Amino acid sequence: MSRSALGRGLGALLMKQPFASKSDAPPPSTLPQEPRPTTLVQSSSSGEAVLVVPIDQLRPSALQPRRDFPLESLQELADSIREQGIIQPLVARKRGDHFELIAGERRWRASQMADLKEVPVILRDAGDATVLEWMLIENLQREDLNPIEEAKGYSQLIEHFSLRQEDVATKVGRSRVSVANALRLLRLPSELQVHIREGRLSVGHAKVLLSLVTETDQTLAAEKVLKGVLNVRQTEVLVAAIQRAAASGVATTSPSPHPRIQDAHIADLATKMQQRLGTKVGLRYNKGKGSVEIKFFSDSDLERILEILGIELN
């Protein structure tokens, strides 16, 4: 589906007048057994019928890539719906004895908070692949997905419908590189994905952490990033130190039964030195021997480092 086609689809959802829920909805015992929309409100700009549907006959879709709906944001939308009604109808498809949401889950949740009994809905006949595509595009255009949700949405398209990354990129209007970079986030340990989803780690942090080979190193590095509130540049320095420690031969030549723990200690020490001196520090260690390399990039930078070390120039 192209962006232009999507634009026409979302444009068709706009209504000229907001919908106000009826307060005298029938009790549950009088609701029909089969999902039957009731009142025809009006036609959309594309000629589709906008129908009134009991809110309890709508269900969220298992295909929905979005999982996080912040309560504060929902409450603000619920307050707006109480005041103005629903300006943009939901989109759904018939699934057995209920209607499954295609677009508008956030409005549906907020409408429940606003105590609406009925909501305006446009019915669509669409297969799973098309529904997932619509959901992804709508959320991406509105920037509603966090990076992990976006990555999992791409993964769904690839796995469920045997698409290539190039196919996904074309469908959602992204570059293939963007899709590939997003999917790489799913290689991180699950606890790191949670940090990214909740905003404690950025995508920039994630890209740097992914350059570490093992999940153990990735997790240890992430813990240091979070504890030290390191920015992306500082994370690059940390990861470089871990990689140098791993390449120094400690893990393969040391008789220690816990070489990874030793590597982590060396990396931690190098990080503390870098933070103290404010510049790149290379630390090599092997069986009690090694070297320290301190980088400087100008005469004034060298003077600053010497001052920190307590060395006076004659």
Q: What is the DSSP letter of 122?
A: E
Q: What is the DSSP letter of 21?
A: -
* Interval 205-221: pLDDT, tens: 999 999 998 899 999 99
Token look-up 């103005």 returns 84
* Interval 54-93: pLDDT, tens: 999 999 888 777 777 778 888 988 999 998 888 888 999 9
Domains, the chain: 3-128 (3.90.1530.30), 210-308 (no CATH)
**For range 2-20, the mean pLDDT:** 39
Nearest-angstrom CA–CA distance, 128 and 160: 9
Please check whether residue 167 is in contact with residue 201, taking contact to mean a CB–CB distance below 8 angstroms.
no
Please check whether residue 266 is in contact with residue 255, taking contact to mean a CB–CB distance below 8 angstroms.
no
> How buried is 137 (Cβ within 10 angstroms: 0-12 exposed, 13-18 middle, 19+ buried)?
buried
Task: Please pick, among 34, 72, 83, 105, the residue that the annotation labels catalytic.
Answer: 105
pTM: 0.54
C-alpha distance across the termini of the chain, in Å: 72
* Interval 279-309: pLDDT, tens: 777 788 777 788 888 887 777 778 778 888 8
Residue 190 in tokens: 């699950």
Strand ranges (E), 209-288: 281-286
Nearest-angstrom CA–CA distance, 125 and 48: 12
* Interval 188-245: pLDDT, tens: 999 999 999 889 999 999 999 999 988 999 999 999 999 989 999 999 999 988 888 8
Choose between 192 and 7: higher pLDDT. 192
Distances (CA, A) of 40 to 44, 121, 122: 11, 10, 10
Nearest-angstrom CA–CA distance, 131 and 100: 10
Nearest to 82 by CA among 41, 114, 117, 105: 114
Per-residue pLDDT at 35: 53
Task: Respond yes or no: is residue 105 known to be catalytic.
Answer: yes
Strand duo 40-43 + 49-54: pairing: antiparallel
